[in-house]
Amino acid sequence: MDYEKHFHLSVFGQLETIFLPLGCDSKSVYCRYEILAGPDWELVSGTKSGITQNCSASRHRFQEISFNMPLDFTYKSTNPFGWPQIVVSFWGSNFWGSEVCRGYARFHVPLSRKHSYRIKAPILTPKPMDLWSKVVGWITDWVPELRDPSVLIHGNRTKGIHTESYGYLQASFDILTRGSEALHLEWNSR
């Protein structure tokens, strides 16, 4: 039987809102997300990546931008190494109308049997490394962006990336595990 060799992790949730304390620099914002897992993890149902709708952003302070993007996926694995993580990038237009990245957030899928989770992940905004890049970025409304946002989940590959925390992403999840008892895995058994 398949349950004797694997356990399944089903995740149901949504990317709810982002909160930017001083408002957004764009008229509209959308997110791209990617679910990354270790080599032993296999996607059984759902999608590994997606994109939300465009949401209008207010330039007022202390405003939340609502996405309410549903996430629904199931993985199977033989061990918990490489537990799934979600990387989200936020995109909007600059003064010139070009699409630019406004920030990144990353978080692990919760590891427990608790029914419902609400996560607040900090939004990281890449910053230029030298004065010349800062001046050019200020004039052209250009911000640095990561070629591959998945580097944020690998601690050893983020060396040299300058970021600043600006706001947070709020997400909610319901988690269901199946078959872990046969592998003698206990999630938060206190």
Give me the residue label for tokens 């029914």: 115
Q: What is the mean pLDDT for each group of 10 consecutive residues in the chain (190 residues)?
A: 72 89 74 92 93 76 81 91 92 79 88 78 83 74 73 67 82 84 62
Assess if residue 2 is contained within a domain: no
Confirm whether 190 is domain-assigned: no
Q: Can you give the residue range of the structural domain that contains 121? A: 7-183
Q: What is the CATH number of the domain that holds 34?
A: 2.60.40.150
The answer to whether the CB of 180 falls within 8 A of the CB of 9 is: no
pLDDT of residue 179: 74
pLDDT of residue 34: 94
User: Nearest Cα to 165, choosing from 129, 122, 119?
Assistant: 122
Q: pLDDT at position 71, please?
A: 92
Tell whether 158 is covered by a domain. yes
CB 66 within 8 A of CB 36: no
In a domain, 188, yes or no: no
Looking at residue 64, its pLDDT comes to: 81
Residue 99 lies in a domain: yes
pLDDT at residue 6 in the model? 85
The answer as to whether 49 is a domain residue is yes
C-beta separation of 174 from 116 below 8 A? yes
**Structural domains in the chain (count):** 1
Q: What is the pTM of this model?
A: 0.83
Domain annotation covers residue 189: no
Residue-level pLDDT at 1: 47
Q: How far apart are CA 31 and CA 62, in angstroms?
A: 19
Sequential DSSP letters for 124-144? EEE--SSHHHHHHHHHHT---
